[in-house]
Chain A
Amino acid sequence: MAQDSSTRTLVSQAQLSRGKGRYVYWTLLGLVVLGFTLVFIGPLYWMVTGALKSGTEIAQTPPTLFPENPETGNYVNAWHNLDLAKLLFNTFYYAAGAVLFQLVLDTAAAYALSKLRPILGNVILGAMLATLMIPAIVLVVPQYVTVIDLPFAHLDMLDSPFAIWLPLVANAFNVFLLKRFFDSIPEDLLAAAHVDGAGPFRTLWSIILPMSRPILGVVSIFAVTYVWKDFLWPKLVMPSPETRTVSVGIYAFSGGTAMNEIVAASVIAAVPTVIIFLIFQRNIMSGLTTGSLKG
């Protein structure tokens, strides 16, 4: 990364680039890079290579650093025995739907709260933000009861993807993030569109959304990773083997399947989010800090 000597931090640049400071700095840098690689990549290396070992090799003491006879058998078995293709497809399907529902409904709500400002809008915003204070675990039971017997409609939503998609729309953090972004779009621009005869929907579609691509990207990435990582809620509302997500599926098999196969399946389950992270790391890391710090 580029040297960033313009802003002064705890230790001054001058102190680091001269004499003893320089040695200390480079030694520290080396130690940190090495230590962090071991701590954060080490377990992942252990996981990926461990699943390449045979059952006897994994039980060997002391453990081997490199697999002696790397075999992909565990990965192949995990893929077939756990029907990972199906599980991955389910999870992907729920994640894609969650993105769609959140983008459409939360964006529309944030636009209304930011620009259309209908009567009682602030009360609604307040009630939405208040839900951020409710611990998730407190809501699990009544939410589940609601989902198995939806009020008025008396629908049982178990095993229906809507049981994952719709509760995720009730995400006050998204509405807040989007509203704050829309607030920063100048009123003059909307007034100009109004004069040109654009209605509220046209204004949202042709002016607001094209300007909001970065924040829409952040919301989408967070929706995908949230669904991919979530465990308890999909476990409760997607009980059938056919509708399970990948994490829940692996957990369901963990009792009666060989240890190495479960770890191999865990590696496969982690690949999509790791790829998403490596591609979108900049958006993810900046989205995290803008969302939480300046809020």
Chain B
Amino acid sequence: MATMTAPGTTEQLTRSASASRTSARRSRKIRDHITGHAFLIGAVLCFTLFTWYPMIRGIVMSFQRTRRGETTWVGWDNYTRILADPSFWPAWRNTVYFTLLALVIGYAVPFFVAILLNELRHAKGYLRVLVYLPVMLPPASALFLFKFYAYDPSDAGLFNAILKFLHLPTSQWMQSAGATMPAMVIASTWMNMGSAVLIYLASLQNIPGELYEAAELDGAGLWRRIWNVTIPQTRLILGLLAMMQIVATMQVFVEPLILANGAGTQDSATTVAYLIYQHGFFQNDLNGAAALGVIMLVVLAAFSAFYLRLTTKND
């Protein structure tokens, strides 16, 4: 811009000229702000329509009821109706059970797989591709594989054939209420663990080698080194991933829908997310579904706040 002058030279100019210049500068500044917002407007509109507004709408909806196009305020009615649903408590029990089971299997396994892969000096690329491959499959595809071939309750199923080969008792899998949840967690872990493994691997590579060196000189064995070097060094990412995984698994939906046809036998598979879907899109109860969504939001927000407080307290 040719008209621009350095601030230092203004004192040599007359008062009126400097005044007109500041106003020109101000109008140019306003124009820059407008240009900036012009670049933002598309994304801001999408955020407004599809996340900011629906967030508020969801809360508002949970206190309303729409019947034959007429919307009225009904107070806590939707909440009491949802709480009275016989599937409400089974859904929460299943969801928490799924989450805990996924934590036991799906949280520790990727960490140890990552430690193992980090020690290997060969076939690194191949093993990484293998671990991440299931993440790239459409979940529906992978779940039909598990449903029809792996969890086939007859002895023709893959898992039963393996169990039989090893002379172990076979299972009815999705047809047995007790095996439903573990079977869903196994499928879910197989499908999703690749991302966690790769994230752990990246954080393991950031650990300075001297720490292991020093620990070894001090006589620390393999397990001591994992416990006293690896885990403290990756604590931050371990904690963060645990929270992210819990928030993600609390919303489990596709696994029960495809593997257990939604509810399983006598609500053995119903999850909270499935109950939201059921109310919203089958029982014509979008308001009840919104109320359950708000309950879920409150539970997850409370959990996250509590968790973050707990894990960051000693820092």
Q: How far is the CA of A278 from the CA of B294 in the complex (A)?
A: 40
Per-residue B-contact encoding for A217-254, CB less than 8 Å = 1, 0 else: 00000000100110110001000000000111011001
Residues B154 and A8 in contact, CB atoms below 8 Å apart: no
- Residues of chain B with a CB closer than 8 A to A39's CB: 190
Beyond A7-B205, A141-B286, whether A167 also contacts B40 by CB under 8 A is: no
Answer whether residue B276 sits at the interface, using C-beta atoms and an 8 A cutoff: yes
| A-B interface pairs (CB < 8 A), number | 312
- Residues of chain B with a CB closer than 8 A to A109's CB: 39-40, 42-44
In whole Å, how far is A134's beta carbon from the nearest beta carbon of chain B? 6
- Residues of chain B with a CB closer than 8 A to A25's CB: 121
Within 8 A of B (CB), among A19-72: 25, 28-29, 32-33, 36-37, 39-41, 43-44, 46-47, 50, 58-63
From B136, B139, B145, B222, A47 is in contact (CB under 8 Å) with B145
Answer whether residue A144 sits at the interface, using C-beta atoms and an 8 A cutoff: yes
Per-residue A-contact encoding for B19-38, CB less than 8 Å = 1, 0 else: 00000000000001111110
Residues A142 and B213 in contact, CB atoms below 8 Å apart: no
Beyond A4-B121, A47-B145, A228-B138, whether A119 also contacts B294 by CB under 8 A is: no
Residues A142 and B130 in contact, CB atoms below 8 Å apart: no
Answer whether residue A140 sits at the interface, using C-beta atoms and an 8 A cutoff: yes
In whole Å, how far is A238's beta carbon from the nearest beta carbon of chain B? 13
Residues B225 and A10 in contact, CB atoms below 8 Å apart: yes
- Residues of chain B with a CB closer than 8 A to A137's CB: 251, 253, 272-273, 276, 293, 296
What is the predominant secondary structure among interface residues of chain B facing chain A?
A: helix
Residues A169 and B293 in contact, CB atoms below 8 Å apart: no
Beyond A33-B126, A135-B297, A229-B139, whether A43 also contacts B150 by CB under 8 A is: yes
Answer whether residue A184 sits at the interface, using C-beta atoms and an 8 A cutoff: no
- Residues of chain B with a CB closer than 8 A to A263's CB: 144-145, 148-149
Beyond A137-B276, A170-B43, whether A10 also contacts B148 by CB under 8 A is: no
Beyond A137-B276, A169-B42, A169-B43, whether A276 also contacts B118 by CB under 8 A is: no
Answer whether residue A267 sits at the interface, using C-beta atoms and an 8 A cutoff: yes
Count of chain A residues near B, Cβ 8 A: 106
Count of chain B residues near A, Cβ 8 A: 109
Q: How far is the CA of A248 from the CA of B6 in the complex (A)?
A: 63
Beyond A10-B229, A127-B47, A231-B139, 10 extra complex contacts between A and B, CB < 8 Å? A29-B122, A33-B127, A43-B149, A128-B43, A134-B51, A138-B58, A143-B54, A170-B51, A231-B138, A284-B136
Chain B residues packing against A (C-beta within 8 Å): 1, 32-37, 39-40, 42-44, 46-47, 49-55, 57-58, 61, 115-134, 136-142, 144-146, 148-150, 154-158, 161, 164-165, 190, 195, 198-199, 201-205, 207, 209-210, 212-213, 216, 222, 225-226, 229-230, 237, 247, 250-251, 253-254, 257-258, 272-273, 276-277, 280-281, 286, 289-290, 293-294, 296-297, 300-301, 304
Q: List 12 A-B contacts (CB under 8 A).
A: A112-B37, A118-B37, A131-B47, A140-B277, A143-B54, A169-B43, A247-B140, A270-B141, A273-B136, A274-B137, A288-B199, A289-B199
